[in-house]
């Protein structure tokens, strides 16, 4: 049985941007630095994105006062969450999964720029 990779081309471009930043900056900076770098890289590569969009949350069909802000939504359908920690933890994965469930989006990309000696990233599906 073959599995189709969803949003293959789009996610390939986003992950390429992750690697470009890691190649240039390495690890050790705060998450906010990588966020700004990724915004610039998305602009340079023509990747459509919204930065920190406020996405509505609902409970039993009622809109909540609280919203959440993923780091980016790219192509209107891929959640991108950044971390700058030693290692990704299940809490980070759960955060992205919850974002996907809350929005009914199908793909989240979780990138960790704090990992050494290489970039750490994961594809998470809803």
* Structure confidence by residue, pLDDT tens digits, 33-46: 999 999 999 999 99
List the strands of the sheet with 78-83, edge to edge.
Answer: 49-51, 72-74, 78-83, 107-112, 120-125
Q: Where are the domains of the chain?
A: 8-125
Is residue 107 within 8 Å of residue 126, measured between CB atoms? yes
- Give the pLDDT score at 55: 86
Architecture of domain 8-125: Alpha-Beta Complex (3.90)
Whether 1 has a pLDDT exceeding 60, the answer reads: no
Neighbours of 120 (CB within 10 A): 19
pTM equals 0.92
d(CA 5, CA 23) in angstroms, rounded, equals: 26
* Structure confidence by residue, pLDDT tens digits, 2-30: 678 899 999 999 999 999 999 999 998 99
* Structure confidence by residue, pLDDT tens digits, 72-88: 999 999 999 999 999 99
């Amino acid at each position: 049985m073959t599995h189709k990779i969803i949003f293959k081309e789009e996610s390939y471009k986003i992950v390429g941007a992750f690697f470009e930043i890691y190649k240039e900056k390495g690890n050790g900076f705060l998450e906010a630095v990588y966020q700004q770098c990724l915004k610039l890289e998305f602009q340079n590569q023509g990747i459509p994105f919204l930065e920190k969009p406020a996405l509505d949350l609902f409970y039993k069909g009622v809109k909540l006062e609280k919203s959440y802000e993923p780091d980016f939504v790219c192509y209107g359908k891929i959640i991108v969450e950044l971390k700058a920690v030693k290692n990704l933890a299940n809490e980070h994965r759960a955060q992205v999964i919850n974002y996907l469930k809350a929005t009914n989006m199908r793909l989240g990309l979780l990138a960790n720029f704090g990992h050494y000696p290489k970039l750490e990233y994961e594809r998470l599906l809803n």
